[in-house]
Amino acid sequence: MKLQGWILYPTRDELVAAFSRYRSELSELFRVPTPDWEVVKWAWDKRNTYGLARELDIPTPLTCCLENVDDLSRVNFPPPFAIKPAIKEHFVYATKAKAWRADSRDELKSLVRKASKFMDPSELIIQEVIPGGGDQQFSYCAFFRDRCAEGSMVVKRRRQHPLQFGRASTYVETVDIPILEELSERFLRAIDYYGLVEVEYKLDPRDSQYKLLDVNARTWGYHSIGASAGVDFAHMLYLDQIGQPVSSSKGQPGIGWVRMTTDIPAAFCACLGGDLDFRSYFRSLRTCSTEAVFSPEDPIPGLVEMLLLPYLAIKRGF
């Protein structure tokens, strides 16, 4: 198979790191849109992300970076706490979770010691849990180059799986929130970012601020909503990589995207917990124009995914 000139789209954080660190070697055969490590490091390690965000006056949750398992006296804010990794890959694959919740300092101590068995304690971050569920989470998505967004959209993450610390969106809808564009582009300009990016926030009801949670230097699970909203991110990056002109565009609000295989169980759990009712659930699907996998023109991928669900549940906590 001739691979000369093929474009590498990273879909996982470890691929971002690999493409960035070996960019010069990979570029001998492929087109590599992933930036150099001096850029990627600001998204790869949350300690760098939150530090730079504070310098740029971008709100973040109260955060404490540990040095060792006995360093918990430095956590100077009340529970509940989120225990999360500075670098995702060690924690996520060992726990099949994005973060753990501790509702007391005793539970925090126990969970930190548990986490230290499979990762360096210095990679652990303790963070306040912002009140509210996944429907208060938002993301800014863009194709960014030359210090500006050639294509962008903002989405509301109406449902996610798992419900509290979601590893993946199950239902999103495009919205118009200019402050998220401003904050995100401030961060991306500061690191001179190039390529596709998703910047995650949560709206804090206590002070009405959108607080930065994560920066993903890669494609994201619901990127296919872009084409329906008028901003085809993957195609824009492709055109730029092969030297063709790219027309600037911005996502239209009110467009929905769903992944039914995970959204149905997520919605069911939300209904059981009283956070959603079935009428509202079915009403939300009316705005959905994009299904993640299933298509009536080509139903086989959707059927195969359904058959793979038991394997994915065991392997990845899917």
pLDDT digits (tens, 9 = 90+) for 256-265: 999 888 887 7
Q: Check pLDDT > 90 for residue 83.
A: yes
Q: Please, what are the domains in the chain?
A: 62-128 (3.30.1490.20), 134-316 (3.30.470.20)
pLDDT value at position 279? 82
pLDDT at 301: 78
Per-residue confidence (pLDDT) for residue 314, from 0 to 100: 62
Distance CA(236)–CA(248), nearest Å, equals 9
Over the stretch 264-294, which tens digit does the pLDDT of each residue have? 777 777 787 777 887 887 788 777 878 877 7
Burial of 26 (0-12, 13-18, 19+ CB in 10 A): middle
List b or e across 140-165, with b for residues whose CB sees 16 or more CB atoms inside 10 angstroms. Answer: bbbbbbeeebbbbbbbbbbbbbbbeb
Please tell me the predicted confidence (pLDDT) of residue 186.
98
Confidence of residue 313 (pLDDT cuts 50, 70, 90): low
Place 317 in a pLDDT band, splitting at 50, 70 and 90: low
CB 131 within 8 A of CB 205: yes
77-104: average pLDDT = 89
For residues 213-228, give the mean pLDDT: 94
pLDDT band at 312 (very low <50, low <70, confident <90, very high): low
Cβ-contact 299, 188 below 8 angstroms: no
Pairing of strands 137-145, 148-161: antiparallel
Q: Give 6's pLDDT tier (boundaries 50, 70, 90).
A: very high
Indicate if the pLDDT at residue 169 is higher than 80: yes
Whether the per-residue pLDDT at 316 is higher than 60: the answer is no
pLDDT score at 124: 93
CB atoms within 10 A of CB 247: 9
Better-predicted residue by pLDDT, 24 or 168: 24
The two tokens of residue 173 are: 């809808």
